[in-house]
Amino acid sequence: MLGKLIKHEFKETYKTFLLLYVAILFLSVVNLGFNELGDGTNGLMMIVEVLFMIAFVLCAFFLSTISLVLIVIRFYKNLLGDEGYLMHTLPVKKSSLIISKWIVAAVWTVCSIVMVILSIFILVGREVPWGKMFDFIGKVYNGYDGMMTLTIVGFLCIMISVMSQLMLIYASMAVGQIWQKHRVLGAFLSFFAINMATQTVTSQITAVFMASNAEKLNNKFEHIVATNAGFIDGLTSIGDFLTAYLSLSAILLLAFCVLYFFICNYFMTNRLNLE
């Protein structure tokens, strides 16, 4: 049943997001064409070029923000608003409803980020010294054996962070809906309260981690300077530290994501208060 919910959610949302993706890619290609063909002497052409560039910037901004807005509105309307009376009569667990929304929202959020980055690369790609960049990346990967591990851990940390933030928003709305007359205010207050609590825990754990590793890292750098060890040893020390830090961050984010899910599921199962 979860698969059917996910399929239905994609079916209901893909048109809006695909339209936004096509728009930003079209504007990036058009602006690239103006950059290649424009000579800076035709006044009308310069005005059109500026207008298209403004449209591209606005589209990139809206794609970065409207994705989250659409995700929030859809969750609220489908599960906490008038449509909730129908959704909650389906023969599925509340957890399945939450997870289906969450997975689809995470996919669209990641796709939106990728599309913004891709459109920027299309626009300014020719200005980037790709040869030097790839040479440097190759030197880093060849110099540090753990670079692939660091890359994977960093990618997972970003993905878990996106999914954790989405679940935090869902949990905040689930808690906020118990204030019948002040749902939006309740959701905002819940978001800041939950986020502040988790940030406090995170900062305390991070402080302990930093305190236990700062001296080790400092000693390694003192050894590198004293022995003139060079780039590779310094890269290894930094890479090992970053891998450990990002691994800790990913674990914390995953734990908080599970906590947010249980909060959301509890309030939607036991304290549901539809409009």
Give me the mean pLDDT over the 145-174 stretch: 88
Residue 56 has a pLDDT of 76
Q: Is the pTM of this model over 0.75?
A: yes
Residue 83 near residue 48, CB atoms below 8 Å: no
pLDDT bin (cut points 50, 70, 90) of residue 215 is low
Rounded mean pLDDT of 118-129?
Answer: 73
Whether residue 135 contacts residue 229, with contact meaning beta carbons closer than 8 Å, is answered with: no
pLDDT of residue 168: 94
Which pairs count as long-range contacts for 211-214, CB under 8 Å and 24+ apart, including other chains?
A: 213/241, 213/244, 213/245
pLDDT (average), residues 91-117: 88
Percent of the chain, pLDDT > 70?
80
Q: How high is the pLDDT of residue 120?
A: 81
Task: Pick the range with the lowest mean pLDDT from 15-29, 46-60, 72-86, 124-138.
Answer: 124-138
* Closest by CA position to 271, among listed 156, 180, 149, 140: 180
227-241 residue pLDDT tens = 555 555 556 667 778
pLDDT at 266 over 60: yes
